Structure 1
Amino acid sequence: MRVDEYVSHDATALAELIREGAVKPDEVAEAAAAALDAVQPELNALVGERFAEPLAYSADGPFAGVPFAIKDLVLHADGIPQRAGSRLLGDGVAMPGDSYLMAQFRAAGLATMGLTATPELGFNASTEPVATGPVRNPWDTTRSPGGSSGGSAALVASRALPMAHANDGGGSIRIPAGCCGLVGLKPTRGRTTPGPDYGDLLLGLAIEFAVTRTVRDCARLLDAVHGAQPGDRYLLPAPERPFAEEVRAGSRPLRIAVSTTPSSGPGSVDPQCVAAVRGVAEQLESMGHTVVEAAPTIDAAAFDDANLVAWTSFLADAVDQLATAVGVTPGPDTLEATTLACAEHGRTLRAADLYAADRVFNATTRAVAAFFTEHDVLLTPTTCAPNTPLGHLDANASGLDARGWYDRIFSFAGFTAVSNVTGMPAISLPLGSSAEGWPIGVQLGAGLAGEATLLALAADLERAMPWSDRRPAVVAD
């Protein structure tokens, strides 16, 4: 298989070619290796060397032989060193065994080719860690691919991979999807497993899944890996039918709310992002949906205070646990300046602060859940601007305390964190385009276990406003 042939197919199409015998898995892997090698010097999206051979996978899975990569954070594969974007872990620490979701990726047949870059411990809306250097956006290499799943997004957008693992604690699937012109679904809390290492990852804010180029790949992958594992804290109702069938069937008439006001953070919204949302709203109305101006009413200031508590307590614990594990004292030689500031803030918190934050999260969740009893979908921008310049979200910048760093992140990522707190699903779609030719992400959110609604509507929008012919400046062929 030639590289130019490889990059023209999404994961579903590659799987079909392999299953039909039109191409061998080894040939696809060779094309993927060449594609990754072609873009890595420009994008810097892989951590360490590309694997010489894909990790073992099931030949019976629905994506048997389809190239894939895993983010260097949380999820782990047996014996593969993990760095979490930090100098603290040096060349990496290998975890014993696969995490549950990694085992499911293998069972789905995904051929893992390498590790993708993350910012340090995932707390950034850009991916430019000191440990491995900045990841560059394939649409414009002076710009950020977003974060924290920026390495995965850059590789999928450049077509070096058809899809890649990602996770999301405040927008880390949807933000890079928006910046790089991809489909990024944050599933409902509990839809994918965080086990066995976590019960509620990041106090329940975080969940793992992937970024893809097409809606059908997103749906088919969710069909392959959703579901609770023994010991998980949540058991969601099974979908009425496979998510891939929802994509084929399309959506029913929906009541769709539209808002261009950030739900958190101190940011203002770029007029181009507002225009992208307005254009999608008009398209939805022309498709027969009822579109109204509305948004949940939440206490944004209290929300940001509580979200800061969640993140800094998580970072304090993560830093202390990792430092103990590797026998290193955290300091400026091993951690970025804002990580140190956030960890320091987290160590000052009391148990009462966590309970107070939980009360705010409960109030937020109740308000948003009530909103979704009257509306099926909430349409917003994904981010407050199409992307950011590299260096704008420099986690090693001096002079920022924990709140200053939080505000800088969420002045860009003001629309994504609410769905992490509520546990409700949201998806970013590349439905807008800036004057510079960059993609603009538009976000659709729904109530608990509403992935079927989102994927059906996303598929309708993909058919009505297709993006598959848009190619970034850096493409693997």
Structure 2
Amino acid sequence: MNDIETLLWETDATGLAERVNGGDVAPLELVDAAIARAEATGHDINAIAEKLYDSAREQAKAVDRALPFAGVPFAIKDLAIAIEGVPMHSGSTAPPLVPDFSSVMVDRYRAAGLIPIATSTSPEYGLRLVTESKRFGITRNPWNRNHVTGGSSGGAAALVAAGVVPAAHASDGGGSIRVPAACCGLVGLKTSRGRIPLTPLSSESWYGFVVDHVVTRSVRDSARLLDLTHGPDLLAPYQAREPSEPFAQAAARDPGKLTIGVYRKSPLGLEISSDTMIALEKAVSLARDGGHSVEEIDLPMIDRAFMADFARAVASATAGFVRAESIRNGRSIGPELERATRVLARFGEVFSAGELYAALERLAAASRDLIARTAKYDAVLMPVIAHPPLKVGAMNPTGADEFLENTLDRLRLTRLLRIDQFLGQLMDKSLWFTHWPAIQNVTGQPSISMPVHVTDAGLPIGIQAAGRPGDETTLLSFAAQMEKLSGWLDRRAPLRRPEAIPAAA
């Protein structure tokens, strides 16, 4: 088992599949090793919502070893994706949904040969950019257990970074793929709007802001998995344009000479740590080493007003979701929600449909402006996180922030958030760790978080490259080159290296 566990810990999904396809390793051996490692690291990282061990072993025994990812252990996020018969908690203490169907993406993962061994933790309804909840507690970073994994796909990132699985399903509505990837030293591609269907559980989520894909160790895994899972579904309302070439082919070729923009400012006007700026400079240096032209740019249409409109849209979507869940349960679920979720949902109820429409129109106009102004660039580099991965609990409100949240909740004074000062205070507290990722959720552009830097304290910091709408191929080709230049593929979190685990574990 130790030899297989070491292989699992060291190897990306593509490499593991090659070993299975070649007959060197049996699917059940990989699955058993992943389950053993999940149990060994479970207390350390707390990243599993539901264990699927029995079904995983049964699938491993029956999987076709010729499939592209035959027998490769995998995890599926406990949020907005359905696995038939598996409770979906969405990180909440409210009653879970137990679907009697599976999402299209789950079927596609299984058709590729992937074996889901667990569902991964998320914060309640994916609303926080750290994975801490009343339902599951704190999910911890395998690089340092005292620090966060980011969110909302923090459980997925923790399982991959800890070497439990080589890749895991994730979703991104305001950075929820890219932030955990940036915190955990992984590759995280936020795909173009419409690239991957969310059906039949939903047609779109958060007005199209939410997309699904994976967090991975390698660029080639992200590309190959996108080749196997993207494309239209009869129930999907729209789709991204067809890629100019297979994504895996793009990741395997030289990108040529690209024109790269660099955006260094905070759209919120908040502090950016020196560690983050060092990471950004490292990404810029790698891009120059790759022979690319690099230009400093500004994004004047992205400001506090833009972010406030994004917050209004998310609040209204949260309010609608809470209404739907209350109807499903035949009673209000408000008392079971975390305070911050309840406040956000109430905020979503205090402005009119006309005001929401106007906010969405402003966001759309800013998106058109941004896409037009940056069309000359093959990619735009910018931070993902403003600080190295935070200490656990650092995003919990304290002092004046806690007083405001408590007041809004207990006295039902959510209408105060119609006042820019109060909304700004709440927004700054929610987003001070990560200022940038929501931009691409609004515009629909693809963006990839690349693990270019590890701080002197041993904490990863990823930097993202945003691309033109529908152009994941350029991003994947560029990211694969950055991977080779930086050597990040060989980095691993220090948590429970296999050689340090006794054979009986």
Answer whether TM exceeds 0.5 for this pair. yes
1:283 paired residue number: 286
Report the more deviating stretch, 197-206 or 465-474.
465-474
Matched, 1:431 2:452: yes
Letter in 2 for 1:137: N
Letter in 1 for 2:313: A
Matched, 1:116 2:113: no
Select the structure of larger CA radius of gyration. 2
Letter in 2 for 1:355: Y
Matched, 1:183 2:204: no
1:314 paired residue number: 317
Deviations 1:274-324, CA, capped at 9 Å, x for gaps: 111112212212321110100332141221221111111111111121122
Q: Shift of the alpha carbon at 1:476?
A: 5.8
Q: Aligned match of 1:194 in 194, 198, 202?
A: 198
1:153 paired residue number: 157
Partner Cα separation in structure 2 for residue 405 and residue 173 of structure 1: 23
Preserved contact between residue 8 and residue 166 of structure 2 (Cα < 8 Å): no
Report the more deviating stretch, 236-245 or 428-437.
236-245
1:217 paired residue number: 221
Partner Cα separation in structure 1 for residue 397 and residue 105 of structure 2: 29
Preserved contact between residue 78 and residue 94 of structure 1 (Cα < 8 Å): yes
Letter in 2 for 1:460: Q
Q: Shift of the alpha carbon at 1:52?
A: 2.4
- Structure 1 residues 369 and 139 mapped into 2: Cα distance closer, same or farther (>3 Å)? same
Partner Cα separation in structure 1 for residue 331 and residue 150 of structure 2: 29
Q: Shift of the alpha carbon at 1:407?
A: 2.4
Residue 142 of structure 1 aligns to a residue in which SS?
A: strand
Q: Shift of the alpha carbon at 1:50?
A: 4.7
Partner Cα separation in structure 2 for residue 50 and residue 474 of structure 1: 23
Partner Cα separation in structure 1 for residue 476 and residue 352 of structure 2: 41
Question: Percent same amino acid at aligned positions?
Answer: 35
1:399 paired residue number: 404
State the TM-score, normalized to the length of structure 2: 0.90
Q: Aligned match of 1:268 in 263, 266, 271?
A: 271
1:84 paired residue number: 90
Residue 472 of structure 1 aligns to a residue in which SS?
A: coil
Partner Cα separation in structure 2 for residue 279 and residue 39 of structure 1: 32
Residue 276 of structure 1 aligns to a residue in which SS?
A: helix
Deviations 1:393-422, CA, capped at 9 Å, x for gaps: 238956325634432221111010000000
1:451 paired residue number: 472
Residue 132 of structure 2 aligns to a residue in which SS?
A: coil
> Where do residues 5-24 of structure 1 align in structure 2 (5 Å cutoff)?
5-24=7-26
2:434 paired residue number: 413
Q: Shift of the alpha carbon at 1:131?
A: 0.8
Partner Cα separation in structure 2 for residue 388 and residue 436 of structure 1: 12
1:69 paired residue number: 75
State the TM-score, normalized to the length of structure 1: 0.95
Preserved contact between residue 71 and residue 113 of structure 2 (Cα < 8 Å): yes
Preserved contact between residue 267 and residue 410 of structure 1 (Cα < 8 Å): no
Partner Cα separation in structure 2 for residue 53 and residue 394 of structure 1: 37
Partner Cα separation in structure 1 for residue 144 and residue 447 of structure 2: 26
Q: Shift of the alpha carbon at 1:75?
A: 0.7
2:413 paired residue number: none
Residue 140 of structure 2 aligns to a residue in which SS?
A: coil
Partner Cα separation in structure 2 for residue 252 and residue 354 of structure 1: 43
Q: Shift of the alpha carbon at 1:378?
A: 0.4
Letter in 2 for 1:384: A
Partner Cα separation in structure 1 for residue 348 and residue 240 of structure 2: 32
Report the more deviating stretch, 448-457 or 367-376.
367-376
Deviations 1:76-123, CA, capped at 9 Å, x for gaps: 11111110000112xx32112111111111111110001100000000
Letter in 1 for 2:80: V
- Once superposed, which parts of structure 1, at least 4 consecutive aligned residues long, lie more than 4 Å away? 55-58, 395-398
Matched, 1:386 2:411: no
Report the more deviating stretch, 77-86 or 277-286.
277-286
Deviations 1:331-390, CA, capped at 9 Å, x for gaps: 44x111110100111111211122111111111211121123221110011111121111
Preserved contact between residue 81 and residue 201 of structure 2 (Cα < 8 Å): no
Letter in 2 for 1:9: T
> Tell me, which stretches of 5 or more residues in structure 1 are unaligned?
none
Residue 436 of structure 2 aligns to a residue in which SS?
A: coil
| Count of residues in correspondence between the two structures | 473
Residue 449 of structure 2 aligns to a residue in which SS?
A: strand
Q: Shift of the alpha carbon at 1:268?
A: 1.4
Partner Cα separation in structure 2 for residue 208 and residue 37 of structure 1: 27
> Tell me, which stretches of 5 or more residues in structure 2 are unaligned?
409-416, 418-422, 499-505
Residue 380 of structure 2 aligns to a residue in which SS?
A: strand
Q: Shift of the alpha carbon at 1:240?
A: 2.1
1:253 paired residue number: 257
Partner Cα separation in structure 2 for residue 359 and residue 107 of structure 1: 39
Letter in 1 for 2:376: E
Q: CA RMSD in A?
A: 1.7
Partner Cα separation in structure 1 for residue 129 and residue 140 of structure 2: 13
Letter in 2 for 1:135: T
Partner Cα separation in structure 1 for residue 15 and residue 117 of structure 2: 19
Preserved contact between residue 296 and residue 367 of structure 1 (Cα < 8 Å): no
Letter in 1 for 2:40: A
Q: Higher helix share goes to which structure?
A: 2
